[in-house]
A and B are shown apart, each in its own frame.
Chain A
Amino acid sequence: MLKTVQIFFIIILLSSCAVDPEIKPIVTQDEIKEIVPDGWPTPVYNFSNNPLTIDGFTLGRYLFYDPILSSDNTISCGSCHQQFAAFSHAGHDVSHGINGLLGMRNAPAIQNVNWLPAFMHDGGINHIEVMPLGPITNTVEMNETMVNVVAKLSASNKYKQLFTNAFGDNTVTTQRIFKAIAQFMGTMYSYNSKYDKVKAGKDNFTAQEQSGYTIFQQKCASCHQEPLFSDYAYRNNGLAVNLVVNDSGRAHITGNASDRFKFKTPTLRNIEKTAPYMHDGRFTTLDKCLNHYISGIVTSPTLDPQLVSGISLSSQDKSDLIAFLKTLTDTKFLTDSKYSEIK
């Protein structure tokens, strides 16, 4: 009986403490508006069915950084998507889930995702609003069910307040969760790199960067198309198949043998900060990536035709190209406090 009373008091204490005085809009409406930078294509996703609000964005931001979305409350979206690494997982080849479990693939950067026609390296997820279902329910990532997520959030006074702020009442639904996260992820815009400033006539490349840009346009841009630096197509770029994992890539989704070992072309924006590289994080440096294209291409039936002879680059070309790639680093994006974890 005493124990029950104690527990009861603890619950009261906890619940009274749970109303987080820190919950407040930390951004202005101006900071979270929809953006389509000059010269960019029309985004795939816009917010016409998910009106952007400060409170919606803020709820998404809390959810993104909250390990409550994982089965043992240890892993958040932000665990594997770190802002300073353009929301990729710095230094980790593949994703790390609950209980130290390893996934098969490298956690990709999150930036300019409104332009993505499909998500994941194999394009299996077709919409930003259902994207979080993948990692949340994957048994080697967050390993949680949406039934539990809804139950846990519904029991939290903090989230009751956050949902009320965002949606007018404290009912927690999967749709509200996903729309809020889409507001947070969908406004992660990176368009303030030196490259962008040069393009806008507000800065100049160095001679080496300019040389690298010319090489890039000649030898890389057919797949890494500007301004998003991806064509979002699925390609086999000649990586030796890891026989242990034997990840068939796009073929896992389509079931077509012609898609075996194809993966979505990744953007190169903030590439300086998103190591390690490739769908399985096998290359730790940009130099190693370029060496792969120069001399590491493995021939197979689905190898991209453009890579049959590899890409010829002198060591000077490589240095110049890397100098150019570093102009895609967007420090404002990487340090913008509105994307950071709310402590």
Chain B
Amino acid sequence: MKKVFALLLVAIFFIACKKDAVVPPKELPLPDAIDTSSFIEIDFANIVNGLPLSLQTSTYVSSANDTFSVDMFKYYISNVQLVTASGYTYTEVESYYLIDQSAPNSLSILIKKVPSNHYTSINFTIGVDSIRNVSGSQTGALDPLNDMFWTWNSGYIMAKIEGHSPQSTNVNKDIKFHIGGFSGSNSGVRKVSLTFPNTANVTKNHVPVVQLSADVYKWFAQPNFTNFSTENNITSVSLSSKKIADNYATMFNVVSVVN
């Protein structure tokens, strides 16, 4: 696991150090002196219906009143885009992050080369866009070492929950939700747009911190109510996985934006 981090860090380092000229995105004519050297930090607090998520040790209750514990919670965030009040956008390149509850370092990401501005909202994708699903071997967050890539039916697992529930009909009472699919009507890729409660003010010397929460409870609540006695093992692309993706599309909230 440490190795994965090291790889990730190396990858981030390389990306951050890339020598290619920093061209501000066309759609963002900057009001001030052009400065794209800053960052926004995004912290992810994974929760279950208001309670902090702790792996293995805690039990939670789902919207179906099923008791469950979570052993693993991982998801991809990609193509992060920041939007200003006037609607201008900055889209990060090579923007792929694997958020893994078991890896504390992954719960805080730095969006790079952000132009100085006042940002009012954020867009991103849960999962990995279709192009990276069909482009051969990848590195960093997208390395198949991260165990988020299907080997028998190529494509990324966009988000993954594993755990246990007494209501599960599996022999060892486990629950397993590996949600993938990058194309077609059952795709697991979802776009998320979140409005900040106050602007995130990026300047050269200032890195705002956006805190998001991701709620496991939402995976099984709405719009597709799910109980673990009937749905406890999804490891391929189907209407069932699509319904879970529709649910997890609603799992994010902005907790705070601290300048």
Complex contacts, B57 vs chain A, CB 8 Å: none
Of the A-B pairs whose beta carbons lie under 8 Å apart in the complex, a sample of 22, sorted by A's number, is A124-B153, A124-B154, A125-B151, A126-B133, A126-B134, A127-B134, A127-B136, A127-B154, A130-B151, A137-B151, A146-B144, A146-B145, A147-B3, A173-B7, A173-B143, A174-B137, A174-B145, A175-B137, A175-B143, A178-B137, A252-B153, A253-B153
Complex contacts, A178 vs chain B, CB 8 Å: 136-137
Asked if A325 is an interface residue, CB under 8 A from chain B, the answer is no
Query: Among the listed B7, B135, B152, which residue makes an inter-chain contact with A127, where contact means beta carbons less than 8 Å apart?
Result: B135
Asked if A179 is an interface residue, CB under 8 A from chain B, the answer is yes
* Contacts from B to A (Cβ < 8 Å): 3, 7, 133-139, 143-145, 149, 151-155, 186, 236-238
Considering the complex, give the chain A residue whose CB is closest to the CB of B11: A173
Complex contacts, B145 vs chain A, CB 8 Å: 146-147, 150, 174
Asked if A129 is an interface residue, CB under 8 A from chain B, the answer is yes
Asked if A255 is an interface residue, CB under 8 A from chain B, the answer is yes
**B138 in contact with A175 (CB, 8 Å):** yes
**A125 in contact with B152 (CB, 8 Å):** yes
- Interfacial residues of chain A within 117-148, with CB under 8 A of chain B in the complex: 120, 124-130, 133-134, 136-138, 146-147
**What is the CB-to-nearest-CB distance from A18 to chain B, in angstroms, rounded to a whole number?**
22
Digitize A246-264: 1 where CB-to-B-CB distance is under 8 Å, 0 elsewhere.
0000001101000000000
**What is the CB-to-nearest-CB distance from B148 to chain A, in angstroms, rounded to a whole number?**
12
Query: Among the listed A49, A147, A252, A255, which residue makes an inter-chain contact with B136, where contact means beta carbons less than 8 Å apart?
Result: A49
Considering the complex, give the chain A residue whose CB is closest to the CB of B181: A255
Main secondary structure of the interface of B (DSSP, over half): loop
**What is the CB-to-nearest-CB distance from B99 to chain A, in angstroms, rounded to a whole number?**
20
**A175 in contact with B149 (CB, 8 Å):** no
9 closest cross-chain pairs (CB), A and B: A129-B136, A178-B137, A126-B154, A129-B137, A133-B151, A124-B153, A127-B136, A175-B137, A137-B151
Complex contacts, A50 vs chain B, CB 8 Å: 136
Considering the complex, give the chain B residue whose CB is closest to the CB of A137: B151
Complex contacts, A146 vs chain B, CB 8 Å: 144-145
Considering the complex, give the chain B residue whose CB is closest to the CB of A255: B238
| Contact status of A174 and B144, CB under 8 A, knowing A129-B136, A133-B149 | yes
Number of interface residues of A (CB under 8 A): 27
| Contact status of A138 and B143, CB under 8 A, knowing A127-B136, A175-B138 | no
**A138 in contact with B151 (CB, 8 Å):** yes
Please report the C-alpha to C-alpha distance between residue A340 and residue B108 in the assembled complex, in whole angstroms: 48
**What is the CB-to-nearest-CB distance from B104 to chain A, in angstroms, rounded to a whole number?**
20
Please report the C-alpha to C-alpha distance between residue A252 and residue B152 in the assembled complex, in whole angstroms: 10
Complex contacts, A147 vs chain B, CB 8 Å: 3, 145
Of listed B137, B143, B151, B236, residue having the most chain A CB within 10 A: B137
Please report the C-alpha to C-alpha distance between residue A50 and residue B152 in the assembled complex, in whole angstroms: 23
**What is the CB-to-nearest-CB distance from A167 to chain B, in angstroms, rounded to a whole number?**
12
**What is the CB-to-nearest-CB distance from B244 to chain A, in angstroms, rounded to a whole number?**
15
Considering the complex, give the chain A residue whose CB is closest to the CB of B139: A175
**What is the CB-to-nearest-CB distance from A249 to chain B, in angstroms, rounded to a whole number?**
13
Complex contacts, B138 vs chain A, CB 8 Å: 175
Complex contacts, A133 vs chain B, CB 8 Å: 144, 149, 151
Considering the complex, give the chain B residue whose CB is closest to the CB of A173: B139
Complex contacts, A124 vs chain B, CB 8 Å: 152-154
Query: Among the listed A120, A130, A136, which residue makes an inter-chain contact with B137, where contact means beta carbons less than 8 Å apart?
Result: A130
Query: Among the listed A130, A175, A252, A255, which residue makes an inter-chain contact with B154, where contact means beta carbons less than 8 Å apart?
Result: A130
Complex contacts, A137 vs chain B, CB 8 Å: 151
- Interfacial residues of chain A within 155-193, with CB under 8 A of chain B in the complex: 173-175, 178-179, 182
Please report the C-alpha to C-alpha distance between residue A182 and residue B135 in the assembled complex, in whole angstroms: 13
Of listed B134, B138, B144, B154, residue having the most chain A CB within 10 A: B154
Digitize A77-108: 1 where CB-to-B-CB distance is under 8 Å, 0 elsewhere.
00000000000000000000000000000000
- Interfacial residues of chain A within 312-338, with CB under 8 A of chain B in the complex: none
**What is the CB-to-nearest-CB distance from B140 to chain A, in angstroms, rounded to a whole number?**
9
Complex contacts, B143 vs chain A, CB 8 Å: 173-175
Q: A133-B151, A174-B137 are in contact. List 15 more A-B contacts (CB 8 A).
A: A120-B152, A125-B152, A125-B153, A126-B133, A127-B136, A130-B149, A130-B151, A133-B149, A138-B152, A146-B145, A147-B3, A150-B3, A174-B145, A175-B138, A179-B137
Complex contacts, A173 vs chain B, CB 8 Å: 7, 139, 143
Please report the C-alpha to C-alpha distance between residue A179 and residue B186 in the assembled complex, in whole angstroms: 31
Please report the C-alpha to C-alpha distance between residue A47 and residue B185 in the assembled complex, in whole angstroms: 32
Considering the complex, give the chain B residue whose CB is closest to the CB of A253: B153
Considering the complex, give the chain A residue whose CB is closest to the CB of B236: A255
Complex contacts, A182 vs chain B, CB 8 Å: 136
- Interfacial residues of chain A within 30-64, with CB under 8 A of chain B in the complex: 49-50
Considering the complex, give the chain B residue whose CB is closest to the CB of A147: B145
**What is the CB-to-nearest-CB distance from B136 to chain A, in angstroms, rounded to a whole number?**
3
Please report the C-alpha to C-alpha distance between residue A252 and residue B235 in the assembled complex, in whole angstroms: 12
